[in-house]
Structure 1
Amino acid sequence: MSFTIQNVFIPVDGGYETVDVQIEKDRITKIAPGLEMLGKVVDGNNKLLLPGFVNAHTHSSEMWQRGLIPPVPLELWIAELYDFAPLDPEQVYLSALGTAVETLLSGGTSVVDHLVLIPGKEIETVAAAVKAYQEIGIRAFIGPLIQDQALASGIPTGEVQREATPYFRSTQATLELMQEVVAQFHSPEAGVHILVAPTGIQLCSDALFAGCIELSDRYNLCRHAHLLETKAQKQLAQEKYGCSAVEHLKRIGYLSDRTSLAHCVWLSDADIAILAETQSTVVHNPLSNLRLGSGIAPILKYCQAGVNVSFGCDGSASNDSQDLLEAIKIGSMLHNITDFDYRHWITPRQSVEMAAFGGAKGLNMAEELGSLTKGKKADLVLYDLTSLSLLPRTDPIGLLILGRPTQAVNSVWVNGRQIVDNGEVATVDVDELRHNLFERSQWDFNRQSKTVGEIEAHYREVMGLGLAKEYS
């Protein structure tokens, strides 16, 4: 299908231009004023066209616990999350749909789902997410979240001897599972990319990382992982390796221009230099880092060092939403308090570039996505500049990034296919999705996690927090 977006605002150096944008099949073919109309004509008057953003790190199935987990740090939060993780692929399907809808309606055309797997139903879990993303039409990058060490291994020992608990699935079995996932579901031409995605150094052996590197190289897959999200993980890396986690990942060959790393809060200047050298990408997840008290990632230092940076919402139980524009706003403004020199602060236009091109680059897709460029894929978002939240008229991108846009997305195309039309998702029944999410959940505000009770005292001891107290 071909179409032309007529008389639309696009950003250019020093301001904006009103142009026509021509799309044939799945690609942008022309950008210029006064083009001959090709195919369907889309009215671009008083609208802003931008490349689609990338929600570069999330966990879709966490949607079932959003707004529920109390304010605790990651190591206790994840224990509660896992105690109550959904065990039904239908729930995975519905939460993937919900994640996609919220991402699309906040400017995203691609999502990186670090997908939590249901034990014993791993293939069914991936199949459910793939089904959801293909039905709705968002560009999906699915990284099955894998590990080969038990949850307690993710907390520093503090030189206290603790009995190691074996993980329920071996390293080899996990790698064989990943091989099967790649064989069944990796289909870039159909909009589904599989990533290798060990959860991080805190719960993964070097053997698991090595197996993921081999799969990545064999099938040209991108790599993903959490990295130094918390101070405890920094301490753990020193215990495990006698060096920083970044140094270790470089030694074993995991870092590359196809590697994206979520969080990256507790890195040294030497670590940042390694990320720049290896051309690895940092995925900034500001809201979950604040929600879990993990810290503020040194994003300005990354930018100054030439490290590629993108934005992620993180999962809906640690954010607790998938509003990508909100994550971009907070993730940009937050750093105004980390560096007194305002000339280092992130501008709205830089935020847009990080969210679109930075996200594409981190997924090895910079040649195809991330900018309004002739020949690139038509992953596009049209914003309504008459929306009340984007008025009165000033700087369109400033309003979009610094403000609080609501109902501002008019249209979304992924691969040239229209997914959102006049503010409504056109490919799935959102009312039915709302009904299903409501009916399959219940009001829940006073549950107790068995695992948190088992590990909290040790966590507080090794982190120097004193005696454990009940939380509510």
Structure 2
Amino acid sequence: MTFTLQQALIPVDQGYTTVDVRVVGDTITAISPSLEVVGTVVNCENKLLLPGFFNAHTHSPEMWQRGVIPPLPLELWLAELYDFAPLEVEKVYLSALGTAVETLLSGGTSVVDHLVLIPGQEIETIAATIQAYQAVGIRAFVAPLIWDQSLISGIPSGENQAENSIPGRSAQEILQMLEEAINKFHKPEAGVYILTAPTGIQLCSDELFVGCGELSDRYNLCRHSHLLETKAQQLLAQEKYGCSAVEHLNRIGYLSSRTSLAHCVHLTDDDIKILAETQSTVVHNPLSNLRLGSGIAPILKYRQAGVNVSFGCDGASSNDSQDLLEAIKIGSILHNVTDLDYQHWITPRQAVEMASLGGAKGLNLGEQLGSLTVGKKADLVLYDLTNLSLLPRTDPIGLLMLGRPTQVVDSVWVDGKRVVENGRVSTINVDDLKQELFAKSEWVTNRKSKTVSEFEAHYRSVMGLS
């Protein structure tokens, strides 16, 4: 496919300029104020062209529980989540479709799915998710979420003994499953990438982390994990290792330029130095951190230390949305209350760079994606500047990042293929998807989680709550 985007507005150092952009196949081949038309012409007058953003951390199957889990901290929220997790592959497929559509329509061209697996159907879960993402046409980074310790192990105070391992799910068995998935599904040329992704120090043994690191090295894969999302996890790390979780992961070799870490709320200055030295990426998930009371990640400190930062929505029942523009806005302005020096605050243009190039760097693809650059892949988003929520005319990127843009995405290309046109996903029938999601769900109120009831007294005791 060859096409020419005509009269697109793009940001430059001194403001904005209007250019034509030529795409041949999957690659941007020319950017200039006036190009000879080659291939299909796309009229971009009064439209802003930006590189596609990365939804750099989410859990697509959580969509089935959006809006229903009550206000709980992460450790108890997880207990309820897993009590009611979907156990049907068809539901996993539908929620991945929904996640892809919502990401595309809020400016994202790539999604990192820290995928919750159906026990005993792990390969089928991964296959269904990939099938959904390929049907929609989004660039998919599938990170099978794995752990080898029981859920109670995630709460501090003497609960992390060997007997808490999950029956029938040894680290070696999990790693064998993961290697099978890598061999079957990792196909970057088709826009599908497998990541090694232990859930975090709270539920994973060193054996699992080290094994994931070895698979990552053997197959040249990126690595992903949650890290120090809550105060409880900070306490747990001291209990398990006698040092911070960052120090420990560095000692066992898990941190690297191919490692992205979700949340990173409770880190010390020494931890931040380690992340900078290892060139690890932090994925900022501000909405779930607020929803679960986890805290505010010190993103301004990370940026000042030279740590790469990107944005994620997190799962659709800890954020209850997959609106990437909303996550970027909150993730930018939230930190105006954590640092009085306004010269450190995140500008709209910096937010765009974090969401695009920051996401690409976190997945070791900074040379291929994340900016409007000749030679890079054509993952592009066109925004309609005549939309009411982007008017009256002021600064286009300021309006997009600081406003409340609704239905502003006009077109999206992933790998040079147009997957959104005139504000509508063109690869699948979204009306059919909505009907399926409605038909396979029901209104839910006042449900009770058995596991929350079992964990709550212990959690409150450990956290010093009366």
TM over 0.5: yes
C-alpha separation in 1, matches of 2:179 and 2:164: 26
8 A contact 2:153–2:160 mirrored in 1: no
Helix, strand or coil for the counterpart of 1:289?
A: helix
What TM-score comes out, normalization by structure 1 length?
0.98
Query: Partner amino acid for 1:368?
Result: Q
Q: State the TM-score, normalized to the length of structure 2.
A: 0.99
Name the CA distance, whole Å, in 1 between partners of 2:48 and 2:162: 58
CA distance in 1, matches of 2:63, 2:445: 15
CA displacement, residues 261-297 of structure 1 (integer Å, 9 cap, x when unaligned)? 0000000000000000000000000000000000000
d(CA) in 2 for partners of 1:51, 1:161: 44
Match for residue 319 of structure 1? 319
Give the Cα–Cα distance (whole angstroms) in 1 for the partners of residues 259 and 171 of structure 2. 21
Alignment of 1:270-289 (within 5 A): 270-289=270-289
- State the identity as a percent: 74
1:71 aligned residue: 71
- Residue aligning to 1:469: none
User: Is 1:171 aligned with 2:195?
Assistant: no
What secondary structure does 1:226 align onto? Answer: strand
**Partners of 1:51 and 1:372 within 8 A in 2:** yes
Partner amino acid for 2:103?
T
Partner of 1:374: 374
SS of the equivalent of 1:327 reads: helix
Judged with a 3 Å threshold, the aligned counterparts in structure 2 of structure 1 residues 436 and 463 are, in CA distance, closer, same or farther, namely same
- Contact 2:152–2:159, Cα closer than 8 Å, also in 1: no
Q: Answer yes or no: is 1:242 the counterpart of 2:242.
A: yes
| Pair 163,273 (structure 1): closer, same or farther in 2 beyond 3 Å | closer
How many residue pairs match? The answer is 465
Map of 1:125 onto structure 2? 125
The CA deviation string for residues 412-433 of structure 1, in whole angstroms up to 9 with x for no partner, is 0000000000000000000000
Which amino acid letter does the alignment assign opposite residue 177 of structure 2? Answer: L
| Equivalent in the alignment of 1:420 | 420
- Residue equivalent to 1:347: 347
Distance 2:101 2:125 in 1: 19
Which residue is 2:46 aligned to? 46
Per-residue deviation, 1:163: 9.0
- Distance across 2 between alignment mates of 1:232 and 1:246: 15
Distance 1:198 1:166 in 2: 14
Q: Which residue in the other structure is 2:434 paired with?
A: 434
Distance 1:224 1:162 in 2: 25
Q: CA deviation at 1:312?
A: 0.0
- CA offset digits 1:119-166 (Å, max 9, x no partner): 011011001100000111100000000000000000001x58989433
State the secondary structure of the residue aligned to 1:11.
strand
Amino acid at match of 1:386: T
Aligned residue type for 1:141: F
Deviations 1:380-429 (A, max 9, x none): 00000000000000000000000000010000000000000000000000
Task: Tell me the distance in 2 between the aligned counterparts of 1:224 and 1:129.
Answer: 18
Please state if 1:199 is matched with 2:207: no
Match of 1:332 in 2: 332
Question: Aligned equivalents of 1:161 and 1:207: distance in 2?
Answer: 14
Instruction: Measure, in 2, the Cα distance between the counterparts of 1:8 and 1:101.
Output: 24
Q: How far apart are the structure 2 equivalents of 1:150 and 1:192?
A: 30
Q: Deviations over 1:169-194 (max 9, x none)?
A: 11110000001100111111111000
Please give the secondary structure, in 1, of the residue aligned with 2:356: helix
Unpaired runs of 5+ residues, structure 2, are none
2:219 equivalent in structure 1: 219
Q: Which residue of 1 aligns with 2:265?
A: 265
**2:273 aligns to what SS in structure 1?**
helix
Cα RMSD, aligned residues only: 0.9
- 1:311, 1:359 within 8 Å by CA — same for their partners in 2? yes
Structure-to-structure mapping, 1:97-112, within 5 angstroms: 97-112=97-112
SS at structure 1 position matched to 2:365:
coil
Q: Specify whether residues 102 and 160 from structure 1 end up closer, same or farther in structure 2 by C-alpha distance, changes over 3 A only.
A: closer
Moved over 2 A (4+): 159-166
**Residue pair 1:153, 1:164 contacting (<8 A) in 2 also:** no
Structure 1 residue matching 2:433: 3-state secondary structure = helix
Give the letter for the 1:453 counterpart.
S
Alignment pair present for 1:92 and 2:89: no
> Which SS does the other structure have where 2:267 is aligned?
coil
Per the TM alignment, residue 14 of structure 1 is displaced from its structure 2 partner at its CA by: 1.6
Q: Report the residue type matching 2:259 in the other structure.
A: T
- The answer to whether the Cα contact below 8 Å between 2:54 and 2:356 also exists between their aligned partners in 1 is yes
Aligned to 2:81: 81
- Structure 2 partner of 1:470: none
Unpaired runs of 5+ in structure 1? 467-472
